[in-house]
Amino acid sequence: MPKLSIVPALLRLISEGSFFKQVFSWLLRLWAVAALVAGIWLSIELWRGGGTSTQAIFGQLIFQVALVLATYLVAHLSWVRAQDVAAMPQIAGEVIIPLTRLLLRLGGELYASLVAVASVGGALMIWISAGEARPDMGELRLLLPGAGGDPFPAGLAMLLTGLASAALGLLGGYLASELLGLLCAIESNTRGVKQG
């Protein structure tokens, strides 16, 4: 039976780290394109619901501007981080940890930008439309209260909760990234002491 040399070559390619860099760089680029498509689809869906008064339409328009900004931020951040992944230096034996740290930071950045912009846009939408138009954000409603009640307190609750959640999400992503780096540094120092 002839020897199959594909598996050892594939394992060598994976262990060198360039494989992960290329795959995740392209996945992040695809994610950026998917975010643009999802933003356009969501924009169309949001126009279907809501009030028909001038105030409601203007409020919806403001939220649409916020949605365009959020879509741009998600796509742009993903594209920039894809370039960061592709440009990561090649260090022997160290590919997954730096990649994971970068993805943790990206997760915090995406969450913070999406929630902050959605909360500001949603609050403005509620206030401008005097409560007639309200953002229907599905799962985000758990993080952004303000879907019911009087317009001013509902919008204020959405704004403050959203900005606080965004700040905590960004902090959480960067903290997780730095903690992972700290654990790796401790492991590296411990290994150096044992070998020394």
Q: Which domain holds residue 122?
A: 18-191
Judge whether residue 134 has pLDDT over 70. Answer: no
Whole-angstrom Cα distance, residue 159 to residue 87?
37
Type of residue at 176? A
Q: For residue 189, name the pLDDT band (cuts at 50, 70, 90).
A: confident
> Which amino acid, residue 149?
G
Confirm whether pTM is higher than 0.75. yes
What does the alpha-carbon distance between residue 174 and residue 75 come to, in Å, rounded to a whole number?
19
pLDDT of 139 reads 46
Confidence of residue 143 (pLDDT cuts 50, 70, 90): low
Confidence of residue 16 (pLDDT cuts 50, 70, 90): confident
pLDDT in tens, 86-121: 888 876 667 788 889 999 999 999 999 999 998 899
Residue 11 lies in a domain: no
Domain-located, residue 183: yes
Which residue type sits at 136? D
pLDDT of residue 6: 77
Higher pLDDT, 187 or 138: 187
Angle at 181 between CA 176 and CA 185, to 5 degrees: 145
Residue 130 domain-assigned?
yes
Phi, psi of 133 (to 5 degrees): -105, 130
Residue 151's nearest CA partner among 71, 79, 65, 51 is 51
- Give the length of the chain: 196
Confirm whether 61 is domain-assigned.
Answer: yes
Residue type for 153, please? P
DSSP helix/strand/coil, 156: helix
pLDDT in tens, 67-93: 899 999 999 999 999 999 888 887 666
Question: Which DSSP string do the residues of 57-117 spell out, in sequence order?
Answer: HHHHHHHHHHHHHHHHHHHHHHHHHHHHHHT---BTTBSHHHHHHHHHHHHHHHHHHHHHH
Q: What is the pLDDT of residue 1?
A: 45
pLDDT at residue 188 is higher than 80: no
If one counts every other C-beta atom within 10 angstroms of the C-beta of residue 190, the result is 10
Domain-located, residue 101: yes
Q: How many CB atoms lie within 10 A of CB 104?
A: 20
| Structural domain total, the chain | 1
Let me know the angle formed at the C-alpha of 122 by 120 and 124, rounded to the nearest 5 degrees.
Answer: 70
| DSSP H or E run through 118 | helix 96-128
Quick one: DSSP state of residue 16? H
Report if residue 106 sits inside a domain.
yes
- Residue 135 falls inside a structural domain: yes
**Residue 70 resides in a domain:** yes
